[in-house]
Structure 1
Amino acid sequence: MNPVDLVIVIVYLAAMPIIGVLVGRRQKSANDYFVGERSMPWWAVTLSVVATETSTLTVISTPGLVFGSAFLFLEVAFGYILGRLVAAFVLLPRYFKGNYVSAYEFLGRRFGRGLQGTASVTFVVTRLLAEGLRLFAGAIPIKAILDHYGIHTAYWHIVVLLTALTLIYAFVGGIKSVIWVDVIQWSLYILGAIGAVIFLSTKLPDGWTSIASGQGRFQLTDFASNIITSPYAFIGAVVGGAFLSMASHGADQLIVGRLLSTKSLRDGQRALIGSSIVVFIQFALFLVVGAMLWVYTGGKTGATATAVAAGKMSGDDVFSNFIVNDLPVGLAGLLIAGILASTMGALASALNALSTSTIADLYQRFTQRTVADSKLLRHGRMWTLIWAVVFAIFASLFTNSKDPVIQQGLGIVGYTYGALLGSFFLGLVVKKARQSDAVVAFACSVVGMAFLILFVKFDKATTAVHLQFGAATKTLVPLATYWYTFVGVLISMIVGGLLALRHRGPDPRATEVDSPPQEEVPV
C-alpha cells in the first residue's frame, strides 16, 4: 500500500465522527435520540438498514464464498426478499399501530413485562456476541495493513480505536447521526467494490467469464445437495433465508429501530422491502468481485487459489490480501475505508439499538417510574457509553477461524432468532397463549437450538441422526445453518401452542393487539 492510501483511511476515520456529531448534535428529546422523532426519509432508512446488516462480514467474506460455493449465496438473498415481505405486512404494522420505539414493546403489550424483558435480554446477549464478531472482523484488514508496514499490534488495540471513534457520534447524535452516517458509509464501500470490479476487468484475460463459468463459479442454484446438511441446497437456503430475514428485520431491534424512525407505516414498509432489493444487488456485486478474483489469482500465479483450496488461506483472506497487495494507489485506501465504514456503521446501529432496548424494555418497564424526558435522554447516552465498553471487551475475545466469519455470525444468531420470531408469531396466531406459555416456549426454543447446534449431527450420506459430544467430522455434519431460525420458530410454536390448550378462552391481551392496524400513523 502507498502512503496515499493511509491518508485516505486516516481522513475517513477522522471525518465520520465529525460528520455524525454535526448531523445529530441538536438532540431535543429522548424520542429524537431513539427514533429521530419519526422524521427520517424512507430511502435513507433503506440504505441505513442495508449498511447495518452488511458489516465487515459481508465485505470481506462474501467475495471469498465464490471459491467454495460459487453464486449459491444468492439463493439465501432471494429468501431475504420473501421474508421481508412478510415482516413488512405482518409485523411492522403492529409496531406502528402501538407507536413503539422498541419491537419488544409489542410482546409486553401482548403477553406482559416478563416476556418483554426476556426478549430484550436475549437480544442484548445475541447482539453482544454477533456484533462483537463483526467488530473483530473489521480489525482483520487493518491489522493486515499495519503488518505490511512492519507495525505489529494486537487486534484489541484496533477494536478499541474503532469503538471509540464510533462512540463519538452514536453518543452525541443518536439515531439521526447513525442513519445519515450509514448512508455515507454504504456509498463508500459500494464505490470501493465497483472500483475493484473496474480494476479487475482491466487485468483479466478476454473470456474470463467463460473461464469462471467452466469451473462452476457462476452456479446460482443447487437442487442436488442434501437439504438437511448443505447450507446452499435450494429449498433450505430460500426457506431458511426467509425465516432468518423475518427474524432479523421483523423481530430484532437492531433493524426495527431504524424502520420506526420513518414518517409512517407506508414509509417503513418501503424502507424494509427496498432494503431486500438493494441487498440482493449488493450480494451479487460482491460475488462478481469474488468470481473475478478467482480468475485473477488462478491466472496470475495460482498461489492464492491453491492456498484457499488447501486450507492454508481462508476465503475471508482472499479479498483482504488482494486489497492490501494488488490494488492501485487510492483504490486500496477507498476499499479499506469502505470496510471500516461497514464495521463502524454496524457498531453504531448496535449501540443505538441496545441503548433503546435497555431503556424502553428494561428500565422503564421494570422501574415503572415516570421519568422526565431530559433524564431519559441522559440515560440513553449513558447506556450507549456502557455498551460501547462492553462491545470492545467482547470483540477482543474473538480469534481467527477457518470458517468464513459470515457463517460464524449466522451461527450465533441461530440460537435465539427462532425464539424471538416464534414469540411474535405465537402472540399473533395463538390467541389462547398466555405469558407463562410464551416464556416456557421461548426457553424451550433457545435450549432446544443449543442442543441441536452443539450435539446433533447428521450422517452426510444417509442423513441419519447422531448425538455427538464433540466437533463435527467429515462424515457427521451439523444441520445447515440457514435452518436454525425455522427450527427455532417451530419449537416455539409447538410448545407454546400445546401449553395454550390448557386455557378455555383467548387471552384478553390478544384482543388489544388484534384490531386492524392503521394505514398511516401521525408523526
Structure 2
Amino acid sequence: MSPYLLFSFVLGYFLLLLVVAWYTSRNSNNDSFFIGNRSSNWMLVAFGMIGTSLSGVTFVSVPGTVGSSGMQYFQVVIGYFLGYIVIAYVLLPLYYKMNLTSIYNYLSHRFGIVSYKTGAVYFLLSRTLGATARMYLVINILQIFILDSMDVPFWATALVILVLILLYTFEGGVKTIVYTDMLQTSCMLIGLIVCIFAVLNIMDLSVGEAINQMSMKGMTEIFNTDYKSPGFFLKQIIGGAFITIAMTGLDQEMMQKNISVRTLKDSQKNVMTLSVVLLFVNLLFLLMGGLLYLYAGANGLAVKGDDLFPAIALGNYLSTGIGIIFIIGLISALFPSADGALTALTSSFCIDILGLKRREDLDEAARKKTRLTVHLTFAIIFFLCVMGFKWVNDKSIIDVILKVAGYTYGPLLGLFAFGILTRRTINDRLSLIVCIAAPLLVISLDLLNNAEWFAGKLRLAETTATALKDFSHRLFYGFRIGIELLIINGILTFIGLWMISSKAEAVPLPVMDEVKEL
C-alpha cells in the first residue's frame, strides 16, 4: 500500500478541517473560544462528543482487548451509562445554576481559593498527560505505516500535526471544535462500519455467523463473575460509572462543550443521547475486534492487542480503500480528544490560574493576546510530552500514563463529592495537603497489590521478589485491585477533607435541590 497515497488523503483531511475552522471562527471572541457564546446546538455537541469520548486509544485498543478478555470491556461501558445519568441530573444543574465558565470555580465558591487552584492544577496535569499519551499512540502508528518509508523523522510528524491542530483551534476554540468534532466523529464511525463490512465480506460471513464463531472461541463473554479478578463485573460497572463522573463530569474539556449549549435542558439531552449512542458504538468496536481476531486466526497472523487493527488494515491483507478509510478513521478518533484538550487546558489556565475573566485592568485585546500565548505554550508542552513518550519507547507507558490520570482525578472526585454531599466547611489551606496525600496512599496501595510488577521494574533479587509477592498475597488474600482505584482515591480524599472540616449551619449548595429530586 503506497504511503504517498495514504499521506495525500491525510493531508486532504487536514485541509478540510482548516476550511471548517476558518468558516466557524469568523467574528469569534474570547467567549467563543471558552464556551462557544453558549449558543452551541445540543445535537451537534452530542454527536461530536462521541469522538472525544472514544479517542484514538479506543479505536486501536478496544478491538485488541477481545482476544484476551472477550467483550468484558462492555461491563465498563455499562458503568459509563450510569455515570452519565449522574452528570446530567446532578452536575449539570450545578454548573448551569452557577453560570460557570470553568467548572472548578465551584470549588472556589464552596471551599476557597486553595481548593479551587488545587482542582484546576490536577485537571491540567491529568489532561496534559492523558491527551499526549493518546496522541503518541496514533502519531506512532502514522509514523510506522506511512512516514518512516518517506524518511520523515518522528519529531517532524509530531510537530506538523500539532501545528495543524493549533491552526484550526487558535481562533475559534469551542465554537470551532463543536463543528470539527462533528466532522471527525462522522469520519470515525463511517470508517469503523466500513471496516466491519469489509472483513465480513472478505471472510464471507454474516454478522450472525461471525458472532457464532467468536462465541465458540470464547470471545463473546461479557460478565466476569470472579470477585478476586480486576475484571469482576461489579467492580467494572461501578468503576466505569465513577470514571465517567470524574473524567467527564469533573473534566473541564468535556464539560466545556456541554456548558456551551444554550439551556440546561438541551445540555441534559446532549449527555443522555451521548450515553445511549456510546453503548452501541462500543459494541461495534468489540465486534470489530472479534472479526479481526477471526481473520488473523484464519490467515495465521501472529498479531494481537494494539497492533491488531493497524497491522491488518494497513498491511497487504485488505484493499487500499480500506487502508485509506482506516487512516482517516484513526486520525478522526485522535483529533477530537487532542484539539478539545488543547482548548480546555488553555481555558482552564487562563480562567483558573491567571484569573483572566476577573482582570478588570485588561481589555478584550489584551485578554485575547494572553489567551493565544497560553494556547501556543500548551502546544509546545504537548510536543515535548509526545517526544518524551517516543524517547521512552515503551508501549506500556500508555497504560501507565492513563493510570496516573486515574490517580489525579481522585482528588477532584473527593472535592466535588464533599462539596455536594455535605454541609461542612473545610480549612481551605489544608486541602492541598489532603489532595496530595490521598494519591500517594493510593499509589502505595497499588504498588503493594501489584508486588510482582513492582519487583520486576526494580529488578529485585529473586528471594526478595518472592517474599514481597507472598506478603502482597497474604495482605490482599489474592484480591486484585482494578478499575476501582479511582473510587478508593476519591474516598481517601473525602475522608481527609472530613478530618479538616467543621460543621456549618449555612453553606451555599445550589445543587442540593437537584440531588434530592434525583
Report the TM-score when normalising by structure 2. Answer: 0.89
Q: Counterpart amino acid of 2:394? A: S
Alpha-carbon distance between aligned partners in 1 of 2:47 and 2:153, rounded to the nearest angstrom: 32
For the Cα contact (< 8 Å) 2:411–2:439, is it kept in 1?
A: yes
Alpha-carbon distance between aligned partners in 1 of 2:456 and 2:142, rounded to the nearest angstrom: 38
User: Could you say if the C-alpha distance between residues 81 and 415 of structure 1 is closer, same or farther in structure 2, counting changes exceeding 3 Å?
Assistant: same
Gaps of 5+ in 1: 309-314, 461-465, 519-523
User: Could you say if the C-alpha distance between residues 85 and 370 of structure 1 is closer, same or farther in structure 2, counting changes exceeding 3 Å?
Assistant: farther
Alpha-carbon distance between aligned partners in 2 of 1:133 and 1:471, rounded to the nearest angstrom: 26
State the partner residue of 1:424: 416
Alpha-carbon distance between aligned partners in 2 of 1:394 and 1:404, rounded to the nearest angstrom: 12
For the Cα contact (< 8 Å) 2:248–2:254, is it kept in 1?
A: yes
Q: Helix, strand or coil: the match of 2:150?
A: coil
Alpha-carbon distance between aligned partners in 1 of 2:144 and 2:234, rounded to the nearest angstrom: 38
Is 1:333 aligned with 2:324?
Answer: yes
State the partner residue of 2:425: 433
Alpha-carbon distance between aligned partners in 2 of 1:31 and 1:252, rounded to the nearest angstrom: 19
Deviation at 1:155, TM superposition (A): 3.0
State the partner residue of 1:214: 216
For the Cα contact (< 8 Å) 2:64–2:306, is it kept in 1?
A: yes
Q: Helix, strand or coil: the match of 1:172?
A: coil
Alpha-carbon distance between aligned partners in 2 of 1:517 and 1:217, rounded to the nearest angstrom: 42
Alignment of 1:145-184 (within 5 A): 145-146=145-146, 150-184=149-183
For the Cα contact (< 8 Å) 2:89–2:514, is it kept in 1?
A: no
User: Could you say if the C-alpha distance between residues 485 and 359 of structure 1 is closer, same or farther in structure 2, counting changes exceeding 3 Å?
Assistant: same
User: Could you say if the C-alpha distance between residues 446 and 371 of structure 1 is closer, same or farther in structure 2, counting changes exceeding 3 Å?
Assistant: farther
Alpha-carbon distance between aligned partners in 2 of 1:70 and 1:389, rounded to the nearest angstrom: 39
For the Cα contact (< 8 Å) 1:144–1:324, is it kept in 2?
A: no
Deviation at 1:329, TM superposition (A): 2.3
State the partner residue of 2:49: 49
Q: Counterpart amino acid of 2:330? A: I
For the Cα contact (< 8 Å) 1:109–1:513, is it kept in 2?
A: no
Q: Counterpart amino acid of 2:170? A: F
Deviation at 1:280, TM superposition (A): 1.9
Work out which of the residue numbers 353, 357, 366 in structure 2 matches 1:375. 366
Alpha-carbon distance between aligned partners in 1 of 2:423 and 2:432, rounded to the nearest angstrom: 15
Deviation at 1:233, TM superposition (A): 1.4
Alpha-carbon distance between aligned partners in 1 of 2:511 and 2:291, rounded to the nearest angstrom: 51
Q: Helix, strand or coil: the match of 1:150?
A: helix
State the partner residue of 2:476: none
Deviation at 1:370, TM superposition (A): 4.5
Alpha-carbon distance between aligned partners in 2 of 1:444 and 1:94, rounded to the nearest angstrom: 28
Q: Helix, strand or coil: the match of 1:168?
A: helix
State the partner residue of 2:253: 254
Alignment of 1:463-478 (within 5 A): 470=458
Deviation at 1:164, TM superposition (A): 0.6
For the Cα contact (< 8 Å) 2:76–2:236, is it kept in 1?
A: yes
State the partner residue of 1:62: 62
Alpha-carbon distance between aligned partners in 2 of 1:225 and 1:429, rounded to the nearest angstrom: 29
State the partner residue of 2:311: 321
State the partner residue of 1:79: 79
Q: Helix, strand or coil: the match of 2:27?
A: coil
State the partner residue of 2:378: 387
Q: Counterpart amino acid of 2:12? A: V
Deviation at 1:368, TM superposition (A): 5.4
Alpha-carbon distance between aligned partners in 1 of 2:14 and 2:179, rounded to the nearest angstrom: 16
State the partner residue of 1:511: 508
Aligned residue pairs: how many? 494
For the Cα contact (< 8 Å) 1:97–1:517, is it kept in 2?
A: no
Is 1:485 aligned with 2:451?
Answer: no
User: Could you say if the C-alpha distance between residues 254 and 479 of structure 1 is closer, same or farther in structure 2, counting changes exceeding 3 Å?
Assistant: farther
Cα deviation per residue 1:457-502 (whole Å; 9 max; x = unaligned)?
A: 2589xxxxx99984898966995441121111110111112322xx
For the Cα contact (< 8 Å) 1:189–1:341, is it kept in 2?
A: yes
Alpha-carbon distance between aligned partners in 2 of 1:200 and 1:471, rounded to the nearest angstrom: 43
Alpha-carbon distance between aligned partners in 1 of 2:347 and 2:278, rounded to the nearest angstrom: 25
Deviation at 1:515, TM superposition (A): 6.4
Cα deviation per residue 1:333-383 (whole Å; 9 max; x = unaligned)?
A: 122022112222211101110111111111117985453233323322221
User: Could you say if the C-alpha distance between residues 226 and 368 of structure 1 is closer, same or farther in structure 2, counting changes exceeding 3 Å?
Assistant: same
State the partner residue of 2:121: 121
State the partner residue of 2:301: 303
User: Could you say if the C-alpha distance between residues 439 and 67 of structure 1 is closer, same or farther in structure 2, counting changes exceeding 3 Å?
Assistant: same
Alpha-carbon distance between aligned partners in 1 of 2:181 and 2:363, rounded to the nearest angstrom: 30
For the Cα contact (< 8 Å) 2:114–2:431, is it kept in 1?
A: no
Deviation at 1:409, TM superposition (A): 5.0
Alpha-carbon distance between aligned partners in 1 of 2:90 and 2:421, rounded to the nearest angstrom: 11
For the Cα contact (< 8 Å) 1:136–1:155, is it kept in 2?
A: no
More helix by share: 2
For the Cα contact (< 8 Å) 1:418–1:488, is it kept in 2?
A: yes
Q: Helix, strand or coil: the match of 1:482?
A: coil
State the partner residue of 1:192: 191
Gaps of 5+ in 2: 474-478
Cα deviation per residue 1:180-218 (whole Å; 9 max; x = unaligned)?
A: 000000010110111111110112254333221111111
Report the TM-score when normalising by structure 1. Answer: 0.88
For the Cα contact (< 8 Å) 2:38–2:259, is it kept in 1?
A: yes
For the Cα contact (< 8 Å) 2:258–2:270, is it kept in 1?
A: yes
For the Cα contact (< 8 Å) 2:425–2:504, is it kept in 1?
A: no
Alpha-carbon distance between aligned partners in 1 of 2:172 and 2:306, rounded to the nearest angstrom: 33
User: Could you say if the C-alpha distance between residues 155 and 226 of structure 1 is closer, same or farther in structure 2, counting changes exceeding 3 Å?
Assistant: farther
State the partner residue of 2:347: 356
Alpha-carbon distance between aligned partners in 2 of 1:366 and 1:208, rounded to the nearest angstrom: 56
State the partner residue of 1:112: 112
Q: Name the Cα RMSD after superposition.
A: 2.7
Q: Counterpart amino acid of 2:438? A: S
Alpha-carbon distance between aligned partners in 1 of 2:383 and 2:59, rounded to the nearest angstrom: 21
Alpha-carbon distance between aligned partners in 2 of 1:256 and 1:226, rounded to the nearest angstrom: 35
State the partner residue of 2:263: 264
